[in-house]
Structure 1
Amino acid sequence: MEIYIKLNKKFDFNKFVSKLPEINIFSDIYVFLNNFKYFELLFNLLKELIKFLNTYPFLYLRLHIIHPYKENLESFYLRVYQLVSPFYLEGYNHQILPRLMVFPIFLFTLPRNLKDFLETYFFPPGIILDKKTQNHTLERVFINSHKDPLLSIGYQNILLNLLENIQSSKIDWKVCNPMMILEEEKIFPCIYAYERKLSYIHEELCNKCLYRLLKKFSPLGLIDPQELATLHFRLALDLFENKNIEMALKYFYETLKFASSDEKEEIYYYLGIGKAQLGDYASAIKYLKKAKIDHNTYFYLGFSFFQKNNFLKAKENLEKALNFNLPLEEKIPIVIYLGHTYKNLGLYEKAINLCEEIVKYVELEQIFNLMGTCYFKLKAYDKAVECFKKAILIDPFCAIDYANLCLSLKELNKREEAIYYGEKALELNPELEFIKKILREIKND
């Protein structure tokens, strides 16, 4: 757990103490001091933590003290050491990490002599550097990404947590460490809530900060290009899977900037599929031609060519998609578009044969509608009627099936039945002008 504390004279110690039992076995506490006159408050807080650890000996705390540099800090840190030294000695005797560890963190400046002094008594100190600063010799460096040091450290911790999680296959990789931010008498559930002064974050807002912090930290050199590419890709993939295609594409484009040539094929794959789903078929074709190859690549290529009325190219790619050994549910959309492609190319028998393979396993309105249309084109009106009636049984509210059935019955000279189904089509869709015309022709015969 991460606890962030803005320490000043308005800080509510009672509320802080009441929240201590909620912390995890291993927790980090960050205490921010903007003014040195509140150092005495820090000792009061430290005493409360020691009392708490003595009551619960299985807990481990890391205390990070963040403040500006001031001369003669040795006496202050010697007082800190006197309070925590029993825990350091306990750790040394048992050859384990101390249950209470202190990590000083300075704003912008840390002289060499003070650094050496602190390393004698504590773990290596850290520093918050201005984002323009390049040279540093400390191991624990934070970048001054925000005016408020709490936000700089808090968001950087979230970023480091993300980088650690993306190496795993965890489904909940975007979940932040549990945290609590205390400012005066207020308690905030996370860094994002603290920044916006919200006491509660709805689940729909959770993770929104990840996209903002990635944009904020990308140019600061905290993340190497490979990590940056992976982060953008994982965030893009989550957006893509949640049907937020436009936002996902933005992050796939960012991934392209940092990805290696070997990785770009997969990024082009998602860019192509996303563009096809958004109706930008020309861009979809451009990206999919450079994408990794699988049945979806060929399907979306075929789909995009189909939408551009390039039926020969659609046929070529949809047939390749169908050549993969796929489960039935993945074959169905390929069959539907390939069947319509055959129909548009005048290959009616091929479309019917394709559909008949599917209806052995599943009966769908779209398939029977397609078969009926192809039989109609072949002037096999009795078989067309049979198919359209099957389509109506599956979906009794599809006006176009009634309309097609009306046309087929008219060709068979079954006038009364044709009128019945034509009128039924108009009940469902009064705007079918061609059916109004057909009904007038039948009635005037």
Structure 2
Amino acid sequence: MKKLLFFLLIFTIISSNAFAAYDQALALFQEKKYQESLNILAEDLIVADDFKPGSPNYKIRFLAAHIHWKLGNEESATIHFRKCMAIDKTKADPYIDLALMLLEKGRLNPASSVAEDGLKVKEDPMLFWILGRVYYQKENYWRAKELLERSVSIDPELYFSYNDLGMALMKLSKFGDANTAFSVALAVNPGSAEINLNLAQSLIMMGKFNDAEIYAKKANGLAPDNEMIKNIIKKIEENKSK
């Protein structure tokens, strides 16, 4: 009994030290000291403990994956994300972030495959958004629309899903519906120059130049050096003078 208690005490101390090291590594990551953060995690990761109850390895590997992502080490990041999937089969987070990394690198088919696998774990709105982005970039705007609508139906606060839905609707020449999507996105994130500009462009396509000018000028105030916004304002003024 004493031996059992001794081993439990040792395990608790080791686990506590591991979590403390994780917190230190996380602080360094937030300071953008990626290699220093990774060095701490590498010292603290005990591979044999991956599936032990109470092990910090999920958190260690998840952070390590993000550090490797930041450092451009796609293969190492992928290994850690996939190990996280194996350690905790109930979480969609590693699927979301791996798919995001692949999407960021323009690897559309692998990103789509990971997101679809993630949906088998949980119907997370981020996974539908990622798939919507994939199909938008593949120029399959109808499918993108369906997936982005699914995303916002689960979480109406995902303004970027609404914004991308608006973009897909613009491609489908559904300018009124696009205007509605951009309006919802703007209500959630009024400080976005991109969304203000997209709303202005939808209003231009609807022939509402006075309203478009309001949002284009708001976008200009938020991003005064953006040449595209300046060109849109010029286009609006030209149409108003006709």
Superposition TM-score, scaled by structure 2 size: 0.73
Residue of structure 2 equivalent to 1:303: 100
Aligned-pair distance for 1:333? 3.3
Output aligned runs, 1:17-416, within 5 Å. Answer: 165=9, 167-168=11-12, 233-239=18-24, 242-245=26-29, 246=34, 247-255=36-44, 259-260=47-48, 268=61, 270-276=63-69, 278=70, 280-282=72-74, 283-289=76-82, 292-293=85-86, 294=89, 295-325=92-122, 331-364=124-157, 365-416=159-210
> Displacement of 1:369 after TM fit?
0.8
Offset at 1:302?
Answer: 0.9
The one-letter code sitting in structure 1 at the alignment partner of 2:22 is: L
- Paired residue for 2:238? 444
What is the letter of the counterpart of residue 119 of structure 2?
L
Give yes or no for contact 1:335–1:354 (8 Å, CA) kept in 2.
yes
Which shows bigger deviation, 336-345 or 414-423? 336-345
Counterparts of 1:415 and 1:234, CA distance in 2: 57
CA distance in 1, matches of 2:191, 2:47: 49
User: Per residue, is there more strand in 1 or in 2?
Assistant: 1
Using the TM superposition, give the Cα deviation of residue 305 of structure 1 relative to its aligned residue in structure 2, in angstroms: 0.8
SS at match of 1:379: coil
> How many residue pairs were aligned?
217
Alignment-mate amino acid for residue 135 of structure 2:
Y
In structure 2, the residue corresponding to 1:363 is in which secondary structure?
A: coil
For structure 2, the 5+ residue unaligned runs are 1-6
Cα distance change of structure 1 residues 423 and 270 upon mapping to structure 2, 3 Å threshold: closer
Task: Give the root-mean-square deviation of aligned CA atoms.
Answer: 3.1
1:166, CA displacement in angstroms?
A: 5.5
Post-superposition CA distance 1:20-43 (Å, at most 9, x none): xxxxxxxxxxxxxxxxxxxxxxxx
1:290-347: CA deviations, max 9, x gaps? 5543433322221211121111111111121122136xxxx24333333322222223
Q: Which has the higher helix share?
A: 2
State the secondary structure of the residue aligned to 1:360.
Answer: helix
Partner of 1:434: 228
Shift of residue 255, structure 1, vs aligned partner:
3.9
Structure 1 CA distance for aligned equivalents of residues 170 and 68 of structure 2: 35
CA distance in structure 2 between the aligned counterparts of 1:395 and 1:281, rounded to whole angstroms:
33
For structure 1, the residue ranges without an aligned partner over 5 or more in a row are 1-162, 174-226
Q: Percent identity?
A: 24
Report the secondary structure of 2:11's partner residue.
coil
Cα shift at 1:419: 1.9
What's the TM-score once normalised by structure 1's chain length?
0.43
Q: Is the 8 A contact 1:269 1:292 kept in 2?
A: no
Q: CA deviation at 1:387?
A: 0.9
Deviation at 1:269, TM superposition (A): 5.0
Tell me how far 1:384 sits from its aligned partner.
0.7
Q: 1:297 to 1:397 in 2, by over 3 A?
A: closer
